[in-house]
């Protein structure tokens, strides 16, 4: 596709359930980021993938959060045993390299009831 | 640790007035600095970036920013605000050995007639 694609665009789940959020980056982009955007909180860094290097997971808020990137392309962010405080917009972005322009997806609005 | 501080979560200006959005960073190494904008109901997009070279950087839509090392600042300006500039603006720094892009909390710009 022409841009970064995220699915689903909206996800409503019950507290305690697991969710998976998907990101399809722009073809050829080696860098991929996940951010979380909460009202009034700006963008919170979660995880960064660069090529075949080990991901930078330093932003993941707890061990309930994990992410993988298969084949250097599609990425999945998994949140286990969701909590109400996990409710936010989860944004994925990709770029040609670390210092290059990020292209953002439209995000997944996660609501935990 | 690298960080970004945006002074003022909300800024309001009159149409035609100067826009000044403040950003200060903390970095132990020469930083790469970015401004992103998020228009209502749209994804984030790059306004401008500073990597090396000229400290005054020009971006899209008439915006510019100046990197001032002595002040650890990267303030965003536009000489004359337009109604269409109403959006949320995020300053970001590339940090941690240039691994991850850290965003500020954002400044919401309102432009009134």
Tens-digit pLDDT string for chain B (113 aa) = 678 999 999 999 999 999 999 999 988 777 899 999 999 888 899 999 998 888 999 999 999 999 999 999 999 999 999 999 999 999 999 876 667 888 999 999 999 99
CA distance B86 to B12: 9
pLDDT value, residue B96 = 61
For the beta carbon of residue A39, count every other beta carbon within 10 angstroms: 7
CA distance B25 to B69: 10
CA-based nearest residue to A79, from A105, A106, A60: A60
Q: Are B83 and B113 in contact (CB under 8 A)?
A: yes
Instruction: Indicate yes or no: CB of B102 within 8 angstroms of CB of A41.
Output: no
Instruction: Indicate yes or no: CB of A56 within 8 angstroms of CB of B103.
Output: no
pLDDT value, residue A98 = 73
pLDDT value, residue B36 = 96
Q: In this complex, which of A44, A56, A104 lies closest to B44 when CB atoms are compared? A: A104
Residue with tokens 């722009």: A26
pLDDT tens across A47-60, in order?
999 888 889 999 99
Contacts of A42 by beta carbon, 8 Å cutoff, 6+ apart = B6, B90, B103, B104, B105, B106
Instruction: Indicate yes or no: CB of B102 within 8 angstroms of CB of A104.
Output: no
CA distance B93 to B2: 8
| Distance between A13 CA and the closest CA of chain B, angstroms | 23
Q: In this complex, which of B43, B46, B94 lies closest to A106 when CB atoms are compared? A: B43
Kindly identify which residue of chain A lies nearest to residue B40, measuring between CA atoms.
A106
Q: In this complex, which of B44, B92, B105 lies closest to A41 when CB atoms are compared? A: B105
Instruction: Indicate yes or no: CB of A98 within 8 angstroms of CB of B94.
Output: yes
For the beta carbon of residue B71, count every other beta carbon within 10 angstroms: 10
Average pLDDT, chain A: 92
A19 has a pLDDT exceeding 80: yes
pLDDT value, residue A100 = 83
pLDDT value, residue B98 = 60
């Amino acid at each position: 596709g022409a841009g970064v694609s995220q699915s689903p665009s909206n996800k409503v789940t019950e507290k305690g359930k697991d969710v998976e959020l998907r990101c399809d980056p722009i073809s050829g982009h080696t860098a991929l980021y996940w951010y979380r955007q909460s009202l009034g909180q700006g963008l919170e860094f979660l995880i960064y993938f660069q090529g075949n290097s080990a991901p930078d997971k330093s932003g993941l808020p707890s061990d309930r959060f994990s992410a993988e990137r298969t084949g250097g392309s599609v990425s999945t962010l998994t949140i286990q045993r969701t909590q109400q405080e996990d409710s936010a917009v989860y944004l994925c972005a990709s770029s040609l390299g670390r210092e290059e322009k990020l292209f953002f997806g439209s995000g997944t609005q996660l609501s935990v009831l | 640790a690298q960080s970004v501080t945006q002074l003022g979560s909300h800024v309001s200006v009159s149409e035609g007035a100067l826009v000044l959005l403040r950003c200060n960073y903390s970095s132990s190494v020469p930083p790469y600095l970015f401004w992103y904008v998020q228009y209502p109901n749209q994804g984030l997009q790059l306004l401008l970036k500073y990597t090396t070279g000229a400290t005054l950087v020009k971006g899209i839509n008439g915006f510019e920013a100046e990197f001032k090392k002595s002040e650890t600042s990267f303030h965003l300006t536009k000489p004359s605000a337009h109604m269409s500039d109403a959006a949320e603006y995020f300053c970001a720094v590339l940090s941690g050995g240039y691994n991850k892009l850290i965003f500020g909390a954002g400044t919401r710009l309102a432009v009134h007639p």
